[in-house]
Amino acid sequence: MESEKKKRTRQINFTAIEAEILVNLVAEYREQVENKKTDNATTTEKNRAWDIICQAFNSSDEIACFRDTKALRGKWEALKGATRKKTAEISRGTYKIDGEVGDGIQLTPLEEQICSIIENVSGYDPLMDCETKFAPTPSDVVDVITLEVPEAKQEITEDQEEVILSASSPVAERSEETSTTQQDYTWPRWSPKSLRTKVSRHLWRAQRFPNASRSSGHDLYKMAEIKYENALLEQKKLKLEIELREIELEIEKRKLEKIISNKS
């Protein structure tokens, strides 16, 4: 006996008005429809939202024919895929050498609405590729205001001068180091002598303290051991105090029993 299979009848294509109605309905229930979670409660809520969308869609007078939930969900996925593809073409055209932005491709208002619903179409802006996207805006420009401060006349003694010179010497050394590291070196000017410059303090600090991390980890381990031993001692102390209290209560109980027996 041949198994009878129902052949799926092909419906007519969605019209532009139907697509617009569908996108507007999805926008109302975007939190349920575009929820990325896959647990049972979320799936049930999503199916309920699609049932409401299907009922509202078929109650409209501008649709061509009845659409079930499966057809509406398939159309929504197709609209999202087409919008992502078109947005990717526009993004590729932005970074072309000839400077043509997407070869004149532009999103329709419906596609822009779809982009606002799914929110993950354009991706992140590159940090090193495009120079035009990082042009300074008027809000980024800062006006520099210089203030003229009158010089204070003050006589400095010899002792004060020595203190000032001794205090400013590390700053001078630091400024010399930064000036040497910030020089604009070019390959024609390089020589073996220039390669013998002082290594930056940030580079040779690890050589100065090779066991710094090891010693700090050892200290932390020792500290943890000490804390653990202290906790054990505290526990023993509490246990002894409880036993002592029980002995005292037992003595008091015996005294009371003896007094009662003497009275009787």
Read off the tokens for 73.
């969900």
Residue 242 has pLDDT above 60, yes or no: yes
Q: Is residue 200 part of a domain?
A: no
Q: Is residue 184 part of a domain?
A: no
pLDDT the model gives residue 56: 92
Q: Is residue 32 part of a domain?
A: yes
Q: Where a domain ends, among 124, 159, 191?
A: 124
Q: What is the mean pLDDT of residues 245-261?
A: 90
Q: Is residue 74 part of a domain?
A: yes
Read off the tokens for 229.
């031993």
Return the minimum-mean-pLDDT range out of 36-40, 87-91, 212-216, 217-221: 212-216
Q: Where a domain ends, among 124, 157, 190?
A: 124
Structure confidence at residue 106 as a pLDDT band (50, 70, 90):
confident
Total number of domains in the chain: 2
Q: pLDDT (tens digit, 9 = 90+) per residue, 138-157?
A: 555 555 555 554 554 445 55
Does residue 155 contact residue 123 with C-beta atoms inside 8 Å?
A: no
Read off the tokens for 66.
């009845």
Q: pLDDT (tens digit, 9 = 90+) per residue, 57-86?
A: 999 888 888 999 999 999 999 999 999 998
- Structural Rg of the chain based on CA atoms: 40
Give Cβ neighbours of residue 248 (< 8 Å, ≥ 6 apart).
none
pLDDT the model gives residue 105: 78
Q: Is residue 64 part of a domain?
A: yes
Does residue 117 contact residue 28 with C-beta atoms inside 8 Å?
A: no
Q: Please check whether residues 20 and 119 belong to one and the same domain.
A: yes
**Residue whose pair of structure tokens reads 């969900």 in the numeric block:** 73
Quote the CA–CA distance of 101 and 72 in Å, as a whole number.
33
Domain region containing 221: 214-264
Higher-confidence position of 204 and 247: 247
pLDDT the model gives residue 182: 47
Q: Where a domain ends, among 124, 149, 180?
A: 124
- Give the end-to-end CA distance of the chain in Å, rounded to a whole number: 105
On average, the pLDDT of the chain sits at 75
Quote the CA–CA distance of 56 and 26 in Å, as a whole number.
11
Q: Please check whether residues 118 and 20 belong to one and the same domain.
A: yes
Q: Is residue 65 part of a domain?
A: yes
Does residue 72 contact residue 57 with C-beta atoms inside 8 Å?
A: yes
Give Cβ neighbours of residue 126 (< 8 Å, ≥ 6 apart).
95
Give Cβ neighbours of residue 18 (< 8 Å, ≥ 6 apart).
57, 62, 63, 64, 67
Q: Is residue 241 part of a domain?
A: yes
Strongest mean pLDDT among 46-60, 159-173, 203-217: 46-60
Q: Is residue 192 part of a domain?
A: no
pLDDT the model gives residue 1: 43
